[in-house]
């Protein structure tokens, strides 16, 4: 990619960012860090300034965080950086030829360059009774506010889906005094994202806390007349419930891009510079299908680190400071007093070694393809995680990684030499 706008012209440009999450907020801030002095306009459909989603299923749901701690940055930040934020406004269409976006309030806004940070939305369980009061999905502040209104001690909550969102909600709900049942269609929780060993660890943790885990349970419909009374599973069993939270994955918001004629395939297709098939339109975050030269393939990631790091790269390219996006994916999940940090894709590994003892709730599992470290899962082990992030893709002595008496710094130094 080569710059296509002289510096003086660039600083007179208008950059419009569509979205209200991590990617949108970070891109706006990063544009100023890239010394872009032109106009920045962030348009978000929700009635909030850009905010973080991870706390929603944890600290915000539990009441530990108020709304101010969920915001990515305070409102005064955008004012001080001369960034305009239009909240509660939905972009309904893009006119690439005229370089304009059309909003639901009738406004047509011109842009020189456009960043789509439209994120994703929960997959809906389209089935009988799916619109009954008491059935919830979790993606936005409004979603969590509705769940919190239903969170009353003694109530029965059914969580459909045993992924990270479902289990994080389960951890909060059991502490809040609800009777919690998790319904997972696979034969183990977290099957899509981690290994059998990690699934077994978290199954034990949740069971100890009083969560009822039901695997091999496919939700087929919802029971109730005026309000939810239960989840009907394959085979006819009805699991009683006063409320339900459905967490069966997300799907990227690509409709705007598709209607504008941009290439889409399991996300908005971008190149290594985050540019779409239109040279004036970029995209970042959960909505993108992007190439990763480190992994040798394209992928779409549902993670905050990806949204943040990709949006920083997008900002650099929007400001004509060419930069390639290529990072090893990493993720995290907080459940009870456990912080799980993951790097790489553990489900694709050939073998694994464990450092530490899972019984102490402080350990790491390192995953290998041949002699190369491909991924790691670390529970309450920040040091092991940070070292793993630097070792992924390198040949490592697995025996030394598994031996707690071996200094990790020495392992890291040996891999660098």
Digit-coded pLDDT (tens) for 263-306: 999 999 999 999 999 999 999 999 999 999 988 899 999 999 99
Instruction: Render pLDDT for 362-414 as a digit per residue (tens, 0 to 9).
Output: 999 999 999 899 999 999 999 999 999 999 999 999 999 999 999 998 888 88
Compute the average pLDDT of residues 166-193: 97
Phi/psi for 194 (5° steps) reads -150, -175
Compute the average pLDDT of residues 31-60: 96
Of 83, 81, 59, give the one whose Cα is nearest residue 69: 59
Of 100-114, 155-169, 347-361, give the lowest mean pLDDT range. Answer: 347-361
Q: Which two tokens stand for residue 18?
A: 């569509």
Q: Which two tokens stand for residue 64?
A: 């530990």
Question: In 176-237, which residue ranges form alpha helices assigned H by DSSP?
Answer: 196-209
Q: Is the pTM of this model over 0.85?
A: yes
CA gap 92, 395 in Å, rounded? 49
* Residue 190: its H or E element: none
Please check whether residue 99 is in contact with residue 267, taking contact to mean a CB–CB distance below 8 angstroms.
no
Please check whether residue 57 is in contact with residue 147, taking contact to mean a CB–CB distance below 8 angstroms.
no
Tell how many helices (H) and how many strands (E) occur in the chain: 13, 26
Strands (E), 179-285: 179-184, 212-215, 219-224, 228-233, 238-240, 243-246, 250-252, 268-269, 281-283
Can you give the pLDDT at residue 414? 85
Compute the average pLDDT of residues 41-47: 97
Does residue 2 carry a pLDDT above 50? Answer: no
Residues whose CB falls within 8 Å of the CB of residue 149, separated by 6 or more in sequence, listed in order? none
CA gap 113, 279 in Å, rounded? 9
Does residue 1 carry a pLDDT above 70? Answer: no
Q: Is the dihedral of CA 321, 325, 326, 329 positive or negative?
A: positive
Can you give the pLDDT at residue 4? 54
Q: Say whether 51 sits in a helix, a strand or coil.
A: strand
CA gap 322, 264 in Å, rounded? 23
Of 81-85, 309-313, 324-328, give the lowest mean pLDDT range. Answer: 324-328
Can you give the pLDDT at residue 261? 98
Please check whether residue 401 is in contact with residue 372, taking contact to mean a CB–CB distance below 8 angstroms.
no
Bridge partners (DSSP) listed for residue 109: 101
């Amino acid at each position: 990619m080569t710059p296509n706008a002289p510096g003086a012209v660039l600083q007179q440009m208008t950059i419009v960012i569509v979205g209200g999450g991590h990617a949108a907020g970070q891109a706006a801030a990063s544009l100023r860090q890239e010394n872009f002095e032109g106009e920045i306009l962030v348009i978000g459909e929700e009635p909030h300034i850009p905010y973080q989603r991870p706390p929603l299923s944890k600290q915000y749901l539990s009441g530990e965080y108020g709304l101010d701690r969920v915001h990515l940055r305070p409102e005064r930040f955008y004012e001080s950086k001369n960034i305009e934020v239009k909240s509660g406004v939905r972009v309904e269409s893009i006119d690439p030829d005229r370089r304009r976006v059309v909003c639901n309030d009738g406004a047509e806004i011109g842009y020189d360059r456009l960043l789509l940070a439209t994120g994703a939305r929960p997959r809906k369980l389209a089935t009988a009774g799916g619109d009954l009061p008491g059935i919830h999905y979790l993606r936005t502040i409004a979603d969590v506010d509705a769940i919190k209104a239903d969170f009353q001690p003694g109530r029965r909550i059914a969580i459909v889906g045993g992924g990270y969102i479902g289990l994080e909600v389960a951890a909060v709900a059991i502490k809040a005094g609800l009777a919690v049942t998790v319904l997972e269609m696979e034969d183990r929780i977290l099957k899509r994202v981690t290994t059998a060993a990690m699934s077994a660890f978290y199954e034990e943790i949740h069971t100890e806390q009083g969560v009822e885990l039901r695997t091999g349970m496919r939700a087929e419909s919802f029971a109730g007349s005026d309000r939810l009374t239960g989840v009907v599973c394959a085979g006819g069993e009805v699991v009683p419930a006063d409320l339900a939270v459905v967490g069966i994955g997300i799907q990227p918001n690509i409709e705007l891009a598709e209607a504008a004629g941009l290439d889409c395939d399991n996300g908005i297709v971008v190149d290594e510079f985050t540019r779409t098939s239109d040279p004036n339109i970029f995209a970042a975050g959960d909505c993108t299908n992007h190439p990763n030269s480190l992994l040798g393939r394209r992928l779409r990631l549902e993670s905050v680190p990806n949204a943040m790091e990709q949006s920083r790269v997008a900002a650099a390219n929007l400001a004509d400071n060419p930069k390639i996006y290529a990072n090893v994916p990493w993720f995290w999940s907080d459940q009870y007093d456990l912080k799980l940090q993951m790097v790489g894709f553990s489900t694709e590994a050939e073998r694994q070694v464990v450092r530490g003892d899972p019984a102490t709730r402080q350990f790491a599992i390192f995953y290998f393809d041949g002699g190369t470290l491909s991924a790691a899962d670390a529970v309450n082990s920040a040091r092991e995680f940070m070292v793993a992030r630097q070792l992924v893709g390198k040949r490592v002595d697995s025996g030394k990684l598994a031996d707690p008496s071996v200094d990790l710094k020495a392992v890291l130094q040996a891999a660098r030499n």
